[in-house]
Amino acid sequence: MPPPPLPLPLPLPGRPMPLPPPPQRHVVDAPKDPKFKTPQRQLFEFWKEFHHQAPGKVTTILPRDLYKTLVRSHHSTNDPSVRNAAASYEVAAEACKAKVASIVKHCEMTNEKFTDPDFDIQKEPFDCLHRLEYAYPHESSSEASGSGSDSDSDSDSHGRRVSAKVRAKKKRSIKMRGEATKMPSNRRVEGKRSYGDAETVYYGSIHRVDWIFDKPQFTIDGYSASDIRQGSLGNCWWLAAVATIAHRQDLMDKVMVARNEKCGVYGFVFHRDGEWVYTVVDDNLFLTNADFTHYGDTYDPSGKLAREHRKTNQTGSRALVLGSCEDENETWLPLLEKAYAKVHNDFTSISGGFAGEGVEDMTGGCNSYLFSSTVLSRDRLWKELLNESGEFVFSLGLSSTGWEYSRGGMATGHAYSLLKAVEVEGLEGEKLRMVKIRNPWGVRNWMGEGEWTGPWSDGSAEWTSYWLEKLDHKFGDDGVFWMTFEDMLDHYEELNRTRLFNNEWTVAQRWTSAGVPWVTGYLQKKFIIEVKTGGLCVVILSQLDERYWKGLEGKYMFELYFLLIKEGGNAEDIAGRARCHTQWDSRSISCEVNLEPGRYELLPKVVAVKRPGGHEVVRVVKTMADINANKLRQVGMQYDIAHARPGVADQDEIMEEERAKRKRKEDMRKKKEKENEKKVNEKQKVEDKKRKALAARDKEKEKKRIERVNKKKAKRRIQRLKRIEAKAKAKNIAKKEKARKKEGAKAEAAADAAADAEVRKESTPESEKDRVLVKKEDADEAQTAKPEADQAQGETITDSADVKTTKEAKPDSEAEEQESETEKGTQGADEPLEPLEPEDSKKATNEEDLEDGNECSKSKVDASEKKDEKEEEEDDDSDLDSSTESEVSSDEEFGSDGWSSSSSESESGSDAEECFENEIPSGWNPVVVLGLRCYSKDKELRVTVVDPEDPKENTAATLAAEASLTGDSAPL
């Protein structure tokens, strides 16, 4: 137990009460370890690495230059934003008819039936049946069953490890089954239910229509929902869509535009991403059973066994593996299913979906999802179901809790067709709202699931002869049943309503791409809708249909939302809004609003989630390019065609532009270097010319100086000789005078003789001395003249008056002063001259000085050029970061692994490019392609895209704007 606190001292009289001391705070010193990171710092670095500032998306799978014209031909070069709603269909239908006519002409010329080279199920049955990821070597069995696992499987069924080559070979092996081979338990032809996206389709043989059917007919008594039977593929959603429009002859004829049954060619038209596309197929179909001789030869001399086998197992609609018609000789459904599978690359790509999407694909309408629990006015919905004007078609969806297989006799997790809605009057005058519904299975399954078992079901007490005649109903296991409108809303949670458009409607369409932030909110990028004439407007925000390139979807799935407000409006000006209900049904969202003339802003909101088991597109392409190149080419072409849309940022073109920009920059740098080199060379030439001129001038001056020196030396030599002669004469005269004075009075003859003798005696050595001096002077003169002749050899010149010669000639006055000073020396004329500096050494010295100066000037020029290049590259890099952040990331975003841009773009461009191609960025970098279609009867309807001023704002969430528009801070 702690001791009690000490009492406070009592205050002294006249003084205030003392305050208690403040409590001591416990301060934790930060660790001195430089590697220590606080939790906040760690979190900051995590978000910095996780949330990229440069979102990226692959927009081109195959090299664009290989098929540039082919991809561009799928999209009009004119402005596609505004056109009549039926214009695109007319173009596709005419092209389809022309294609079929051309094929028929060729078949008649070659006497050969048509074989589709792009979807040849005889040559490539595996690729035509299965999606791209079926040959993916890293796909585990759990992923193939739809669990979404991303683990790799390197073992066979017995746990033995096998090589990647063997696994790929097993993946590509053709799965065939004969008479005794059984389908998997959950892959039944009758009453099939698909659990998951991925499934394997088994078949026995492949034959043409005229071989399978005894009397094949494309249609018998027209199209009907009762003709439809589902096969061993989980495409009940699409069959429900077909059954929904089968009673409309005009809609079915719109899909099947041309055929020639004799040649085996059929042309169909489908709606894809806001545009109509056509395709042609041959009449080869998959059969359940193999040929009689498939497993070996059998003794059958009469052929009876073979005929019985064919009649029993390979004849009629029931012999088909996939969808078929109820009539044994009707062929329209399997051929339509094949055409729909072809535009999606294979059959398993159309497994799993929503019936409303299928109706959209075959009618070009706008699908919207209604939940029965949220219907505001049932009377209004009933009027739409009656569909007196033919503007709507409906289908139904029955969801599953995961614990049940049926509800009220109807299979859950399944799509149904709403064939008819009628309001009939009973015998007592009561009015009933009745709906006619059909199950695409056509029959109940082995558990009795498939049809309604409540009131008004087959055999129930409600049916009387009156009602059977009134509703024209017959009991039977045909998948068709009746129920009341109220029971339909109570049991079916989802209604798919598709609005149809005719040539009275105008459609305006725009596509764009945007990065999706991790923190959700409305994007800065928005659409502007301009309405000239008020009225009903159907606004559709969609993303590209990933079903056309299954296997290349990438890691992310997107949920779409949008708000439609008056331009510059606030929370009170919301004209409409739409949202997706789940991440699986967000191919498109829409709303129908009555808009007054004016401009409206559509603010998109996109939520990205990681796809279960999703692979990076780069990883899939690198793997499949070696394993199954043909399938990759097929799917990659569809991927590239979908992304080659006006308004969608093409990363391939961006990289090409960046390469061109770097090349231009490199060319400019080289050009600048050449110009600088040229300037330096010209400057060098000028300097060389000046140097040569200076050298010539110096040489001329030196020559003149030497001439002056030699002249002065010669003059001095002559003067010395004259002085010597004068001295000798004076000395002789003096001696003579002295001798005459000395002899005195001698006799004139004796004196003259003695004087002559004395003169001869004394003059002989003097003359020899003079000759020696003259020889010495001649030698000096020869030495002086020799450097003039041998200046190139650098010989020296001696002179008693010269000290060291400098590089420039001294004035004459200085030379004279030197000469006078030299003459005063003790040596006199005999003192040797200082050697002159050779001309070549002076020239070399001048050249070295000039070269040193050139090097200094050149280094200054190079330094200034490098400085200019650095500033120019920094400007270019800033532009590059703001315009093309999807290709090159900064060092802060990708770390120091070679992704950052260096100071020299030309040196690091190839390395950064190689890193971009070989490395897959991690973290959060989703990009979504958004398209806005707006239908109205206003022919001047316009749709435009508004990009943010700063490209980085494209991924910035506007949470404050969202709160002001929605009235609260909660997400839409």
Active site residues: 236, 414, 439
Q: How far apart are CA 691 and CA 699, in angstroms?
A: 12
Quick check: helix, strand or coil at residue 257? strand
CB 512 within 8 A of CB 375: no
Structure tokens belonging to residue 3: 């001791």
Angle, CA 959 vertex, CA 958 and CA 961 arms, to 5°:
70
Residue 578's DSSP bridge partners are 562
Quick check: helix, strand or coil at residue 502? coil
Q: Which of 592, 520, 645 is nearest to 970 (CA)?
A: 520
Structure tokens belonging to residue 741: 């004075």
CB 933 within 8 A of CB 540: yes
Structure tokens belonging to residue 727: 């001295």
Distance of CA 382 to the CA centre of its chain: 48
Structure tokens belonging to residue 195: 């659990």
Residue 370's DSSP bridge partners are 495
Q: Which of 595, 609, 607, 603 is nearest to 578 (CA)?
A: 603
Q: Which of 348, 344, 349, 319 is nearest to 334 (CA)?
A: 319
CB 57 within 8 A of CB 886: yes
Q: How far apart are CA 258 and CA 280, in angstroms?
A: 9
Distance of CA 327 to the CA centre of its chain: 50
Q: How far apart are CA 888 and CA 305, in angstroms?
A: 69
CA neighbours within 13 Å on the CB side: how many for 38? 7
| Sign of torsion over alpha carbons 658, 661, 665, 667 | positive
| Contact residues for 31 (Cβ-Cβ < 8 A; gap 6+) | none
Q: How far apart are CA 646 and CA 908, in angstroms?
A: 32
Quick check: helix, strand or coil at residue 499? strand
Q: How far apart are CA 752 and CA 796, in angstroms?
A: 53
Q: How far apart are CA 640 and CA 116, in angstroms?
A: 22
CB-CB neighbours of 391 under 10 Å: 13
Q: Which of 836, 801, 886 is nearest to 706 (CA)?
A: 836
Q: How is the beta sheet containing 598-610 ordered, strand by strand?
A: 574-579, 556-566, 598-610, 526-531, 942-946
Helices 839-883 and 905-918: angle between axes, nearest 10 degrees: 40
| Contact residues for 5 (Cβ-Cβ < 8 A; gap 6+) | none
CB 349 within 8 A of CB 474: no
Q: How far apart are CA 193 and CA 190, in angstroms?
A: 9
Using the CB atoms, write b or e for 562-594: b if 16+ within 10 Å: bbbbbeeeeeeebbbbbbbeeeebbbbbbbeee
**Chain length of the chain:** 972
CB 916 within 8 A of CB 888: yes
CB-CB neighbours of 163 under 10 Å: 10
| Contact residues for 464 (Cβ-Cβ < 8 A; gap 6+) | none
> Would strands 506-515 and 927-936 be described as parallel, antiparallel, or unpaired?
antiparallel
CB 269 within 8 A of CB 254: yes
Q: How far apart are CA 424 and CA 438, in angstroms?
A: 20
